[in-house]
Amino acid sequence: MKLNNLPKTTQKAKKRIGRGHGSGRGGHTSTRGKYGQKAREKVGLFFEGTKIKKSLLKRLPLFRGKGKFKSHRTSPLIINLKYLNLFKEKEEVTLESLKLKGILSKDVSPEAKVKILGEGQISIPLVVCLPTSKGAREKIEKAEGRVTAGKEGKA
């Protein structure tokens, strides 16, 4: 092994501006230009240059009225396990199949979140393709069915 064949393991340190002449970028203005706001301080993200224009934050719309501090997240549609006894053996439980069986109304959007909870009993082995609670998952697997999608506790 020769010292001149060793791989390069160091990187040159970047120049730190404004730390004196020895830093390589020192001196009078230290790369910041001669005058002005940017030479003296950092310009704020929402600074727009004058007081005459309305600022960006003032131009954004507000939520008005009583519900302005309410969360805009929607909670999932809850379906209890006892209603899944309408299905046949080894049938898949999806959003569409729930609509066909009349458990959900026909006008529920395809992006709607549905969660199956463990109230009631189930005696038919089903393939559930929706999020379930831990109790519902245990009851489905006890009836020799399986849950293929959805995390426990999340919707």
Residue 118, strand partner residues: none
Q: Could you tell me the residue range of the domain that residue 92 belongs to? A: 77-147
Say which amino acid occupies 82. K
Is residue 105 a part of any domain in this protein?
Answer: yes
Closest C-alpha among 48, 108, 43 to residue 79: 108
Our CA dihedral for 26, 29, 32, 35, rounded to 10 degrees, sits at: 170
The CATH number of whichever domain residue 82 belongs to comes to 3.100.10.10
Q: How many domains does the chain have?
A: 1
Is residue 128 a part of any domain in this protein?
Answer: yes
Is residue 4 a part of any domain in this protein?
Answer: no
Question: What pTM was estimated for this model as a whole?
Answer: 0.52
Is residue 155 a part of any domain in this protein?
Answer: no
Closest C-alpha among 115, 90, 110 to residue 99: 110
Residue pLDDT tens, the chain, 155 long: 788 888 887 888 788 888 888 888 888 888 888 888 888 888 888 777 766 677 777 777 887 788 888 887 788 999 999 999 989 999 999 999 999 999 999 888 888 899 999 999 998 999 999 999 999 999 999 999 999 975 554 54
